[in-house]
Amino acid sequence: MNNPYMTDRPVNEKEKLQWAEKSRIGAAAARLVQANDSIVIASGTTVLALAQHLRPRESLTVITSALNVALELARHKDIEILQLGGVVRKSSSSVVGPYSENIMKDFFCSTFFLGVDGIDLEFGLTTTNSMEAHLNRQMIAVSQKTVILADSTKFGKRGFGKICGLEEIDQVITDRGISDHIANSLESMGVEVTVV
């Protein structure tokens, strides 16, 4: 039997995996961002691709737990960045913990862009770190819409920390490697599937 569980890898290793797919997914996600929007961007290499493709029209406010996302966006004068604080996870270049979770409670945003380590039709969305999963749940709670950015290798996988069930997400942006079965199952649950 194949082990469905994901292991934690350093972000610089993960950046190289499925890079062309991640870049297309990031570009598609960037097109969802509106003028004068307030969004949340989680950590991970696919959401970093979103940050690399963002070209804000007018002003944009971004709340992020990811240090590399904040540094990428700092080049744009029209983006106001709220960098969350907390314990730094070196493997993901992001912060986790109660400090960042408490700060999130003070905001309400239009869209949360989330990268995950695993998407399982029964178990839901997961990441390799339970503290990150907890922060991601808080981010979902303060966002009007949750969009998952995941290349097709993430389907059928599970990480250690459960983020949420699939009923809590609105859209998945992925690549052509997604199976028809999984795409149809997600759509039957009311999740919009965008294939790039």
Angle between helices 19-30 and 45-53 (to 10 degrees): 50
Residue type, 148: I
For residue 56, what pLDDT is reported?
Answer: 87
Helix, strand or coil, per DSSP, at residue 29: helix
The alpha-helical segments, DSSP class H, found in 17-75 are: 19-30, 45-53, 67-73
Q: How many of the other CB atoms lie within 10 Å of CB of 21?
A: 20
Average pLDDT over residues 165-192: 97
> Is the residue at 5 inside a domain?
no
CA distances from 196 to 28, 116, 167, 175 (A): 7, 17, 22, 5
Q: What pLDDT band is residue 1 in, cutting at 50, 70 and 90? A: very low
Q: What is the pLDDT of residues 75-132, one digit of tens each?
A: 999 999 999 999 999 888 999 999 999 999 999 999 999 999 999 999 999 999 999 9
* Domain annotation covers residue 34: yes
53 domain-assigned: yes
pLDDT of residue 92: 86
Domain that holds residue 65: 11-195
What mean pLDDT is predicted for residues 23-51?
Answer: 97
**Quick check: helix, strand or coil at residue 138?**
helix
**Residue 28: predicted pLDDT:** 98
pLDDT at residue 12 tops 80 = no
Domain assignment present for residue 2? The answer is no
pLDDT (mean) for 132-151: 98
> What average pLDDT does this structure show over 4-20?
59
Kindly state whether residue 3 falls inside one of the protein's structural domains: no
Higher pLDDT: 61 or 11? It is: 61
Please name the helix (run of DSSP H) or strand (run of DSSP E) that holds residue 142, with its range, or none: none
- The rounded mean pLDDT for the chain is 92
Q: Look at residue 148 and tell me if it is in a domain.
A: yes
Residue 4's pLDDT is what? 54
Please count the CA atoms within 13 angstroms of the CA of 137 that sit on its side-chain side.
Answer: 17
- Smallest CA-to-CA distance from 42 within 155, 174, 138, 124 is with 138
Domain count, the chain: 1
Give every CB contact of residue 95 below 8 A, 6+ residues apart in sequence: 65, 67, 84, 85, 86, 87, 88, 89
Question: What CATH number is associated with residue 111?
Answer: 3.40.50.1360
